[in-house]
Amino acid sequence: MASVTYKNVNKSFGDVHVIHDLNIEIADGEFLVFVGPSGCGKSTSLRMLAGLEEVTSGEIWIGERMVNNVAPKDRDVAMVFQSYALYPHMTVYDNMAFGLKLRRTPKNIIDERVREAARSLGIEQLLDRKPRQLSGGQRQRVAVGRAIVREPAVFLLDEPLSNLDAKLRVEARAFISSLHQRLETTFIYVTHDQVEAMTMGTRICVLNAGYLQQIDTPFNLYHNPRNVFVAGFIGSPSMNFFDAELKEQDGSLVVETKEFRFVIPENLAEPYKQHLGKKVVLGIRPEDIHDSQFLPSNITPAQIEATVDIIEQMGNEVILYLDANDTSFIARVDPRTRARVGADMPLVVNVDNLHLFDSETELSLAYEYKQELIARERGE
């Protein structure tokens, strides 16, 4: 097992700069997820760690060893690709054993490792089959098994679930998470799917256009995004954003948009007072907008009204596409809602969970304040 460190890492392809000064410290045994939109640099970051791409500048360390000039085979990492990259003419057993045979590992050790990995993955009965005889989920497990038998210091997984259907993806997520807990090895995982990132990672590294936006726990990313990009990327459906201004009214701090006007609770107002009179971006998550007939307990409510444009019945919840003063936004409401398309509807916003960002820098106005608040509430 080993820690991983990126120190001021940059990567360019010709004149195109794709990774900008990446600095990350990944603890031994951690499950870190790189997440971001297509082209953000997450796979390139992983491939540089694996040795499949050269570092333009900066350093990458695995444990106490800088590996910039170390051959991929000597880095003590194992990689699982999106395509699985199984040899079609080989059996499952031979696919899993191939890397060990190249290293001239004794046959008895190869057999022991392959069969032990197969047992842990539930694919013992598949060892004599060829890849074409396997389902997508089974191929994915074989690819993971091939990595396990090497007993690497670091596991690298590059969108390994992308080729699976929805049901198998859910099962595979749980399987990989349990595998990490069992092996207690460092896992670094790349995905564009923020749901995968939130459910699997102990920490998540959010990238955009080659820049590190925020690295934090899933809880902190959701409740205290550093900027507008992170706020909009983490969460499904995405956070709603409104142009707004901070004002004072009767001694209280108020955030005002052309659609709504909210009083900020006194216990949350402190970090915003210095921004009085400024233009801001107001963020409200869809799950913090409720049908007024079905309110959760322990919220600070603010009444609004909007017209229902579209209704999506999800079974356990209902997604409402709404309009207020020609501004569209989304709400996730109780499945018992009686919302009707085309009708005006009273709604309630939980103002305890409002997010405010600088309209120019798009940075959170209360990031440090909220980090301290979250840490105190969670006893950290």
Residue type, 81: F
Q: Quick one: pLDDT at residue 71?
A: 94
The strands making up 327-333's β-sheet, listed across from edge to edge, are: 289-291, 344-350, 301-313, 318-324, 327-333
Strands (E), the chain: 4-13, 16-26, 31-35, 57-62, 65-66, 77-80, 154-158, 186-191, 203-208, 211-216, 240-249, 252-256, 261-263, 279-284, 289-291, 301-313, 318-324, 327-333, 344-350, 355-358
Domains of the chain: 4-231 (3.40.50.300), 238-377 (2.40.50.140)
Q: Could you count the other beta carbons within 10 Å of the beta carbon of residue 368?
A: 11
pLDDT by 10-residue block (mean), the chain, 380 residues: 93 96 97 95 96 96 96 90 84 92 90 88 90 87 85 89 78 84 91 91 96 96 97 95 94 92 91 93 97 93 96 95 94 96 96 96 94 80
CB proximity list for 121: less than 8 A, separation 6 or greater: 141, 142, 144, 145, 148
Helix axes 136-148, 92-102, angle to 10 degrees: 20
Q: Quick one: pLDDT at residue 66?
A: 97
Task: Please list the residues that pair with 319 across neighbouring strands.
Answer: 312, 332
Give dist(CA 343, CA 95) in Å, integer.
60
Q: Quick one: pLDDT at residue 48?
A: 97
Q: Quick one: pLDDT at residue 1?
A: 65
Q: Dihedral of the CA atoms 162, 168, 174, 177 (nearest 10)?
A: -30
Q: Is 140 left (phi over 0), alpha (psi -120 to 50) or beta?
A: alpha
pTM exceeds 0.85 for this model? yes
Q: Quick one: pLDDT at residue 375?
A: 82
